[in-house]
């Protein structure tokens, strides 16, 4: 288990302990963390799981795939340098303490 910190648009924080191998979209919906929709279930066809990864964790993630990069052009909120699809961020021990801002809006 590793800790994920979600920052809501109003600045409030939610924290969740997430098992290695679980993605941050599923972790958020499983912990009733509002603001991450995940309409497509994680198959990269909705872009409603948009988060902005805070430094320094963004550099520790694998680069986005071509499909993820394309979907990030269709997010409801403007794309930022740290923007990622949370369904594509897979938890591992090296990401313990990762901080992600929940994009707003998602739809
Ligand atoms: S859940 Fe649909 S793109 Fe991530």
Output the CA 93–ligand 1 centroid distance in Å: 23
Q: Look at the block and give the residue holding tokens 């988060």.
A: 51
Output the CA 8–ligand 1 centroid distance in Å: 18
- pTM for this model (two decimals): 0.97
For the CA of 86, the nearest atom of ligand 1: 4
Listed by start position, the domains of the chain span 2-102
* Tens of pLDDT, residue by residue, the chain (107 residues): 999 999 999 999 999 999 999 999 999 999 999 999 999 999 999 999 999 999 999 999 999 999 999 999 999 999 999 999 999 999 999 999 999 999 999 99
Output the CA 98–ligand 1 centroid distance in Å: 19
Which residues line ligand 1 at a C-beta cut-off of 6 Å?
25, 38-40, 42, 44-49, 71, 85, 87
Q: Look at the block and give the residue holding tokens 């993630």.
A: 61
**Domain 2-102 carries which CATH code?**
3.10.20.30
Which residues, other chains included, contact 14 with Cβ-Cβ below 8 Å and sequence gap of 6+?
5, 6, 8, 31, 33
């Amino acid at each position: 288990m590793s800790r994920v910190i979600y920052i809501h648009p109003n600045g409030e924080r939610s924290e969740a302990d997430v098992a290695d191998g679980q993605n941050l979209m599923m972790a958020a919906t499983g912990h009733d963390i509002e603001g991450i929709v995940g309409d497509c279930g994680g198959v990269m066809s909705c872009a409603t799981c948009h988060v902005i990864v805070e430094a320094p964790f963004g550099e520790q993630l694998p680069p986005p795939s071509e499909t993820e990069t394309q979907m990030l052009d269709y997010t409801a909120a403007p794309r930022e340098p740290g923007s990622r699809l949370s369904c594509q961020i897979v938890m591992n021990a090296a990401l313990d303490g990762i901080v992600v801002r929940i994009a707003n809006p998602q739809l």
